[in-house]
Structure 1
Amino acid sequence: MALPVVLRNTLGVVAVGLRRYIEWLTALQRYLAFFAWTLAQWIAFTQLIVQNQPDIDANDVAAIARQAGNAGNLELIQKILFGLMLCAAILLGEKFAIQWIAYKFHERSYAERIAAQKIQTGCLTTLYKHSSEIPGRSDTLKDNQSAAPSVINPKKLLRGVIKGVKGVASHTTTALGNVASEIAGSSVLQPNSPAAMVATALSSANKTRQLARRIFYSFVQPGATSIVITDIAQYFPDHEMTEIAFGMFDKDGNHDATRDEVELACLEVHRERLALANSMRDIDSAVGRLDNILMSFYFIIAALVIAVTLEAKLTTLLTGAGSLVLGLSWLIGASASEVLTSVIFLFIKHPYDVGDRIDIDKGSYIVKEMRLLSTVFIDVTRGCLVQVPNASLSTQFISNIRRSGAMSETFTFDVAYDVEFEQIEALRSRMLAFVQSHRRDYQPTFDIVVSGTVFSYVLIFFTLFTSLEDIPGQEKMILKADILYKSNWQQGALKTKRRNKWVCALKTAMAELKIHGPSGDPSAKPGPTKYTQIPWEEVKEMERTQMPLPDLSTSEPRIPRGEWSFTDQDAMILDRRQDVFDEADEFSFPMAPTPRPGQDMRQRRMTRGVGETGEAIEMSRSRMSTAPRRR
């Protein structure tokens, strides 16, 4: 249909708010056309054929019989056309419901993220447009680098083909898929335009980093290590847009942005772009699976509608259909319950998106793929893929790290009981100075709690929370300090870096202030070793009474000559309990040949201390395997 294209290029340009309805019309155009065609056929047949039968003579019996037969046939055709019109209306309602679910879910879950993504991409495009190539640097983005064809990755190409096939299978939600394609950078843009260059660069982590460095080195003042808002203010139309663009880099609000901050901001835009595109594609695929399930019910309803229009008894049909459903309830009851639970979990609860870091039952996972009935995670600890049914996840406590704000972590450590409170206060001052010097990583308040008394120190920049937790048995003091991070833990490497830096600073401060653990100073030099001398006569008498008699037998002990081995070599290489590919029976080696007589010559020397004089008795013997030695 050409109507959606015409409306998009006319009303869609004038009234932006109508674009969503035009997208709906584009997705539903075939079903609207089918319903309109069946409705027109039914109305036209009723008005033009059924209502316009010729008049016949009342005395012509043959003509009356022919007209009665024709009337029966026309009534049957009219009923069939009416049934097709009802089926088309039900089909249109089902497709409209699918579009409504997709749109409402998109509006609630992704509208704000998509708007923020477009604003950030627009800011980067403006900065790239006014930037220039940096001579002498190979780590910045070149003007012809993004548009140059890259090396084809077969794995990525195969994944793209698979995603394309999935997209064709779930074509009913194209209104949502168009937005995902636009975010992913697959919309049509002029190849050499700044928007196309930025979109292409944001599709790769390496090129995103090069784009960030180009922007930084293009606007940083000579001799400076960071950019300020005045460096980019002239390239934006108003001050509000300038603050939005600079706030994208200045996450800590200290009114400057270093190169690392610019790189992290651009990489965050890159990851958010990929996460949005993959999340919306997965949701589009899940909606397509839901559409397939609803279409199964549609065919049953359509068959009932056609049967009723052909003058079948409705009560008989409903009774038979109900008996069939009740008979199959034991077979499809659990599956139907799982589908309903999964739909509610995925579309109504929706606790995560693709790329989110979540915690479930003391485990950390990254969402890789969302499906209608299950979700695929990446185990952060082991790196393996984990597939979990959505019905099981609906009863779990899920902590979404990406959606969380600034997070904190409690660090517990023990100190000696004789540590004075002045030392703890000095430790607080040292750590406060540390967080002030690293204000990009930590939060801006400080509280200390000692034995139930709270002392609050509200400062301008960052926070450390120290608590005297317990004094068990007057042996040690247990202290707790909260590491209040500036952001969440979505980027695990960044969180680990900040934690290691904080812990090392705490360790250095404790060493400088002589605050040690319950065992004392770990770096103290050891004192003199004290020992007791015992008379030699007593020791010699004790050894003589406890010394066992030497074993003079000639039987050889059964101990291995080489390495210790308590299992078969084949079993160590391929365990039958882990034989996934049925290779245990094939994996075997022939046993070593038995040595021939006369070849097993062994020489052994045994040294043993005997008697009070400590003399050594050396015994040598040779044993032939063919001639046993006489005793």
Structure 2
Amino acid sequence: MEVDASSLEKKESNEVVLMISGVECQSGGSSPKPNTDPIELENPPLSSQISNLTSLSAHELTQSIPTPSELLNIPTKKSTSGSSFVKLKSRFMEPPHPSDTSASASKDTVQPVPSMSRIGSVPSPAAEEEDDEDVCETVNPKSQVMSGKTKVVLAQQVAFVCITGLLITSLTIRNLQNTVIWHVPLWGWCLLLLAIFCGSLVTDWLITLLVLLIEKKYLLKKNVLYFLFALKDSAEVFAWLCLVLLAWVWLINYGVKRSRHTTKILNWVTRALASCILGAALWLIKTFLIKLLAASFQCKRFFDRIQDDIFQYYVIKKLSGPADTKISLKVNIEKLIKIKPDKVSAWTTKNLTDFLNEAEQPDKEITDEYKAKDAAKAIFKNVAKPRSKFIEEDDLLRFMPKEHIEKFFAFFSEAKETRKIMKSFFKSWLVNVYRERKSLTHSLNDAKTAIEELNNLASAVLLVVVIILWLLLTGLLTTQVLIFISSQLLLFVFIFGDAAKQLFEAILFVFVMHPFDVSDRCVVDEVEMEVEEMNILTTVFLKNNGEKISYPNSVLSSKPISNFNRSPNMSESVEFMVNFSTSVESLEALKDKIKKYLDSKPKDWKPGHRVVIKEIVDSDHLKMALHVTHTTNFQNATERNDRRSDLVLELKKILEELRVLPR
């Protein structure tokens, strides 16, 4: 499994091939071409980004997040290699491991490393705070011309040219200058038609001009651009209706004497347009509030995980290739690792989230923990010295600068002092990388769905409010209609009052309380479960026996919830009995042997255990307890049970060896 240092080569024009023991790992075709400097990057012109952001909705922040099967390459159909296909009904169930025969055959085959990961939080340095400008290029920018290829925009452009030509003609040709239709000159009708059919096109140009000004002056760039693009569609509609109303009032409904009946009709049209403008303004406010909630929610809940994902993606790419090789990355790692979650802008978070989706993906992804262990072996051989059992600081210095090594060592608590990473520790880290990567993908996916559902609910409520306001302002809301609407509202409150209350509680639970994320192991009603899926109204849990259970979020909001994944290193105790006649020397020997065993397992147990005598039972037994602290929390229940089982077995051996078991 030796890594050939000359195996990193260009393939075609935009693909990088990494050969490890004859296995070809090919990056995705969307990989950017290497820059001269892989760390310092320059943002592309912002005006070139506008077309792919013109249709942003309230859930735009995570709109490009792929499904778990797309990002993790989890099998969704029968493999063509002949292996049996097992349908996984849970998003977190691992596919079956290969048989012993295939396992032994794959020992010489190295699996590629995952592209995204997260273990814990990389702590921000105490150095001065960095601005998050230019941290990440905007992913997948498209040309402005792309948005102009739609049929609607083409029709607007054709209409703009034709109506503008007619307007110029009506102002320059003498025979048309005095042409009047319904007491309005021809040029006035041309202006009204321009406002009606081409108003949205003009507002789109104005927003593009605003983007150019922001790009030139960098005026409040990081605080404005996110909401500018997010509100673009709603703002265009609002500005377009304002132009139509202005043209209508100025050209048609002002300064011309007409009959009372005609004036009444024209005033009704004016009020209808004003009602539409009010509705567009409310819709704009609704979109802004949803975007504000989405930005705040995403930045607070997921930025630290995204930050760690990208940093570890960078580390894994560096350690997978030959030493001292520069890599192409659209993220300024130096600035990224210094950003604090409470200082990051929504614009930067969006670009980093898009980067997670667009990053290079090898052809053969890690699809289970078994492959993750094989990949860890390959990387360990590539980095460590021959026949060495550790990755040392000198080994890492061949791949990355010292400040990045400090961040990398933060993932290994045992390496902070020794500056060495054991092979087993490195293997566990990469397995956790796979787990956390899958967890983050599902969390972002469910967050996107929750925000989308909230936006749909808010849109439905606002639509009813806008219709009522439109009826009020146009005068169509007569007494009979008002009585009918009031009766329907009372009926709605009577039938759906409790449902509305539960919905409000569920929204607060998901976006404000948010006691867990997808894949977190929690205890609810004294039952240990794993969070399978989060929605606005319900949360689906997976019990240890594989049973799925769905809880209404309004019910969960009133329950105490224990979250293992958000807990620090957790401790537990093992109780046992010894003979009352056991000598003090034997008890000291018991403590020494327990200490020796725990010290030999630094990967599993933290130092500082305690062996205590709790009480005397029936005058012939001593009840004792061993209190130990794990090196992790109880998020991984299988690993915790294995550790405890090994500890109990070792304790049994020690008690039998010392012959202190009760008779």
Q: What TM-score do the two structures reach when normalised by structure 1?
A: 0.64
Q: Is residue 400 of structure 2 the alignment partner of residue 242 of structure 1?
A: no
Q: Secondary structure at 2:532's aligned position in 1?
A: strand
Equivalent residues of 2:271, 2:474 under 8 A apart: yes
Task: Give the counterpart of 1:117 among 309, 312, 324.
Answer: 309
1:119-198 equivalences under 5 Å are: 119-130=311-322, 182-183=355-356, 186-187=357-358, 189=359, 195-197=360-362
Match of 1:584 in 2: none
> What is the Cα deviation at residue 516 of structure 1?
1.0
Letter of the 2:389 partner, please give it. T
Task: Give the counterpart of 2:623 among 461, 465, 478.
Answer: 478
Equivalent residues of 2:414, 2:602 under 8 A apart: no
Q: Secondary structure at 1:110's aligned position in 2?
A: helix
1:56-455 equivalences under 5 Å are: 66-130=258-322, 182-183=355-356, 186-187=357-358, 189=359, 195-197=360-362, 201=365, 205=369, 207-237=371-401, 239-249=402-412, 253=416, 254-311=418-475, 321-380=485-544, 382-443=545-606
> What is the Cα deviation at residue 255 of structure 1?
2.4
Gaps of 5+ in 2: 1-46, 54-137, 142-211, 325-345
> What is the Cα deviation at residue 374 of structure 1?
0.9
Gaps of 5+ in 1: 54-63, 133-172, 190-194, 444-461, 521-631
Equivalent residues of 1:408, 1:485 under 8 A apart: yes
C-alpha distance in structure 1 between counterparts of 2:633 and 2:562, whole Å: 12
Match of 2:638 in 1: 493
Judging changes above 3 Å, is the alpha-carbon distance between structure 1 residues 6 and 21 closer, same or farther for their aligned structure 2 residues? farther
Match of 1:4 in 2: 50
When structure 1 is superposed on structure 2, of 506-515 and 407-416 the one drifting more is 506-515
Q: Is residue 259 of structure 2 the alignment partner of residue 40 of structure 1?
A: no
C-alpha distance in structure 2 between counterparts of 1:410 and 1:48, whole Å: 84
Q: Secondary structure at 2:604's aligned position in 1?
A: coil
Larger radius of gyration: 1
Q: Secondary structure at 1:227's aligned position in 2?
A: strand
> What is the Cα deviation at residue 467 of structure 1?
2.1
C-alpha distance in structure 2 between counterparts of 1:18 and 1:318, whole Å: 47
Match of 1:49 in 2: 252
C-alpha distance in structure 1 between counterparts of 2:410 and 2:501, whole Å: 47
Judging changes above 3 Å, is the alpha-carbon distance between structure 1 residues 245 and 5 closer, same or farther for their aligned structure 2 residues? farther
> What is the Cα deviation at residue 22 of structure 1?
3.3
> What is the Cα deviation at residue 285 of structure 1?
0.9
C-alpha distance in structure 2 between counterparts of 1:494 and 1:334, whole Å: 43
C-alpha distance in structure 2 between counterparts of 1:176 and 1:200, whole Å: 28
Letter of the 1:392 partner, please give it. V
Equivalent residues of 2:506, 2:553 under 8 A apart: yes
Equivalent residues of 2:222, 2:347 under 8 A apart: no
Equivalent residues of 1:345, 1:394 under 8 A apart: yes
Match of 2:202 in 1: none
Match of 1:596 in 2: none
> What is the Cα deviation at residue 196 of structure 1?
3.6
Q: What TM-score do the two structures reach when normalised by structure 2?
A: 0.61
> What is the Cα deviation at residue 501 of structure 1?
2.2
> What is the Cα deviation at residue 25 of structure 1?
3.5
Judging changes above 3 Å, is the alpha-carbon distance between structure 1 residues 228 and 176 closer, same or farther for their aligned structure 2 residues? closer
User: Which of 1 and 2 has higher RCO (CA within 8 Å, sep 6+)?
Assistant: 2
Equivalent residues of 2:415, 2:421 under 8 A apart: no
Q: Secondary structure at 1:46's aligned position in 2?
A: helix
1:462-541 equivalences under 5 Å are: 462-517=607-662, 520=663
C-alpha distance in structure 2 between counterparts of 1:339 and 1:176, whole Å: 28
Letter of the 1:485 partner, please give it. H
Residues 401-437 of structure 1: CA distance to partner in whole angstroms, max 9, x if unpaired? 1111111111111222222333222211111111122
Equivalent residues of 1:368, 1:376 under 8 A apart: yes
C-alpha distance in structure 2 between counterparts of 1:175 and 1:321, whole Å: 46
Match of 1:551 in 2: none
Q: CA RMSD in A?
A: 3.3
C-alpha distance in structure 1 between counterparts of 2:436 and 2:216, whole Å: 28
Equivalent residues of 1:201, 1:211 under 8 A apart: no
C-alpha distance in structure 2 between counterparts of 1:207 and 1:347, whole Å: 36
C-alpha distance in structure 1 between counterparts of 2:270 and 2:317, whole Å: 61
> What is the Cα deviation at residue 316 of structure 1?
8.4
C-alpha distance in structure 2 between counterparts of 1:25 and 1:41, whole Å: 22
C-alpha distance in structure 2 between counterparts of 1:431 and 1:14, whole Å: 67
1:554-593 equivalences under 5 Å are: none
Q: Secondary structure at 2:231's aligned position in 1?
A: helix
> What is the Cα deviation at residue 280 of structure 1?
1.5
C-alpha distance in structure 1 between counterparts of 2:260 and 2:528, whole Å: 76
Equivalent residues of 1:252, 1:486 under 8 A apart: no
> What is the Cα deviation at residue 478 of structure 1?
1.3
> What is the Cα deviation at residue 67 of structure 1?
3.9
* Number of aligned residue pairs: 440
